[in-house]
Amino acid sequence: MNIIERTLKMVFATVISILIAQYFKLDFASSAGIIALLSILDTRKSSLSVALSRFLSFFLAFAIAILIFKVTGYTLLAFSVYLLLTIPILYLFKLESGLVPITVLVSHLWAIQSIALSMLLNEFYIFVIGTCVALLFNSYMGSNQRKIAQYHRKVEEQMKTILFEMEADLLEESSQSSLSEIQHLESSLKEALGLVYRDSYNQLFQASNYQVHYFEMRKQQTKLMKQMFVSISKVSVTTRQSILLAHLIHETASQLSQGNPALTLIDDIEQLLETFRHEELPKTRLEFENRASLFQLLNDLESFILEKTNFYQTYQEGELTKR
């Protein structure tokens, strides 16, 4: 929720709550607006959770307040005892989200020195109006699907660029790949995950966490790319194996899109591993270190591809083609 949307929701929820409370001629009508203001949250799920928590804390806190005011009167000491008891109890039952708004309502009882049924109902109606109006406004959350789709494209393009540069490194013995590009990719993934997690909390009845799992999969692949970058930096000589591996990295980049299962790449990996096994053993220390780095790179690339194929098998082609 951006600042403009949040501001508009807070203002309208506050004003409408006060107007409704005034229409029903409730005392302390402005408190309905305060309750609504405190109840505007970022997601639908958090709004429902907090509303339920506050309903429970309302009855618990008012029971404590009624008992204390009836026994000790309406002194400052009585109000202090109410706080001393209510605060730890609400925290104990994880109902602390209701502490501030409910205490505001209890202070009305203390201020007018009454626990009459009419006064208790007045406070309950104020609470219900503020909470329900806030829930109504929180039921609308702008769709993030367009932004999420943009992050899909952005992340895939960044990953393709890095993979193509890794290919060039292996073929040209150059060092084009940059950790800073991987860091930019990590930054994009962090933003995307923040967005899809918020969006998932707004989907009250959606069972699938496809978008969350997708970007988490890309996050794991990015970690593997960092390891691949380290292995490539240790390859000092262009060999037949490095050329074959460069070609496989190129194919991986070409099949990176979310709808591609990349299953054929697993077969290519196995064939290349078989080729490595039948190659002549390295004769020098340099050849040995070079071969070891290439073998590690191949293993990391296999893990990279398996992340994608496992994700594809989890959601199956039907769901992926909808995206």
Q: Give per-residue pLDDT as tens, 124-171.
A: 999 999 999 999 988 776 667 788 889 999 999 999 999 998 888 888
pLDDT of residue 131: 95
Q: Domain map of the chain by residue range?
A: 3-138, 145-320
Tokens 């600042």 label which residue? 3
- The residues, ordered by sequence, that sit 6+ positions from 99 with a Cβ below 8 Å of its Cβ are 57, 61, 86, 87, 90
DSSP code of residue 204: T
**Per-residue pLDDT tens digits for 69-126:** 999 999 999 999 999 999 999 999 999 999 999 999 999 999 999 999 999 999 999 9
Phi, psi (rounded to 5 degrees) for 2: -80, 170
> Would residue 309 be called left, alpha or beta, if left means φ above 0 and alpha means ψ between -120 and 50 degrees?
alpha
Residue type, 53: S
What is the rounded CA–CA span in Å between residue 195 and residue 190? 9
Q: Which CATH superfamily is domain 145-320 in?
A: Putative aromatic acid exporter, C-terminal domain (1.20.120.940)
pLDDT of residue 301: 92
Q: Which percentage of the chain shows pLDDT scores above 90?
A: 50
Q: Which percentage of the chain shows pLDDT scores above 70?
A: 89
Buried b / exposed e over 107-124, threshold 16 CB at 10 Å, is: bbbbeeeebeeebbebbe
Candidates 214, 209, 188; CA nearest to 198 is: 209
Burial class (CB in 10 A: 0-12, 13-18, 19+), 285: exposed
Are 312 and 321 in contact by the 8 Å Cβ rule? The answer is no
Residue type, 29: A
Mean pLDDT comparison of 2-6, 301-305, 319-323, highest-scoring range:
301-305
Cα angle 70, 75, 76; round to 5: 130
Candidates 254, 261, 267, 257; CA nearest to 318 is: 261
What is the rounded CA–CA span in Å between residue 282 and residue 289? 9
**Per-residue pLDDT tens digits for 236-279:** 777 888 888 889 999 888 888 766 666 778 888 888 877 777 67
Give the other-Cβ count within 10 Å of 129's Cβ. Answer: 25
What is the rounded CA–CA span in Å between residue 238 and residue 172? 8
Mean pLDDT comparison of 41-45, 53-57, 209-213, highest-scoring range:
53-57
Are 58 and 121 in contact by the 8 Å Cβ rule? The answer is no
Burial class (CB in 10 A: 0-12, 13-18, 19+), 184: middle
**Per-residue pLDDT tens digits for 170-191:** 887 555 556 788 999 999 999 9
User: Does the pLDDT of residue 321 top 50, yes or no?
Assistant: no
What is the rounded CA–CA span in Å between residue 93 and residue 230? 50
Are 210 and 319 in contact by the 8 Å Cβ rule? The answer is yes
